[in-house]
Amino acid sequence: MPARSKAQQKAAGAALAAKRGEMNPSALQGASKDMHDTMSEAELEDVAATAREDLPDRVKGDD
């Protein structure tokens, strides 16, 4: 599932870093914390790998 916005892509990147042990999961907030708790590493990789060029900053409903 590709990211729908830059904010979602960024949150997935932070959650993925925590999932891999590159950062402390307790530092996560909001959407990135929810993503870390509910998504697998493969799912997070898919969302975080989305190219950002053509994405809007935010989409209504993105957390």
Nearest to 35 by CA among 19, 22, 50: 19
CA distance 34 to 63: 9
Confidence of residue 1 (pLDDT cuts 50, 70, 90): confident
54 within some domain? no
Higher-confidence position of 5 and 1:
5
> pTM, whole model, 2 decimals?
0.88
Domain extent at residue 42? 6-48
- Number of CB atoms found within 10 A of residue 30's CB: 11
15 within some domain? yes
Per-residue pLDDT at 49: 96
The per-residue pLDDT for range 7-62, each reduced to its tens digit, is 999 999 999 999 999 999 999 999 999 999 999 999 999 999 999 898 999 988 65
17 within some domain? yes
User: Phi/psi at 2 (nearest 5 deg)?
Assistant: -75, 155
55 within some domain? no
